[in-house]
Structure 1
């Protein structure tokens, strides 16, 4: 019975966290239009 209670409390906490993050919405700001370099450019 303790395991079932612990699982229910953990599930409720996880659900509350998800709802909190969802309610907060996306972060403000914008992404950079410049692509990230994945390789080092060669110098002639």
Structure 2
């Protein structure tokens, strides 16, 4: 029964964090216009 209570408390805390972050909104920031490289360039 203690495990079920702990799981419920953890789930409630996680949901509270998600709802708080949703209410606050995304932080203002700057994005880079160029995409990041996802592959390693080939060397001749």
What TM bracket, shorter-length normalisation? 0.5 to 0.7
Q: TM-score, normalised by structure 1?
A: 0.64
TM-score (norm 2): 0.64
Greater C-alpha radius of gyration: 1
For structure 1, list consecutive stretches of 5 or more residues without a partner in the other structure: 40-44
Where does structure 1 differ by over 4 angstroms across 4 or more consecutive aligned residues? 34-39
RMSD: 1.9
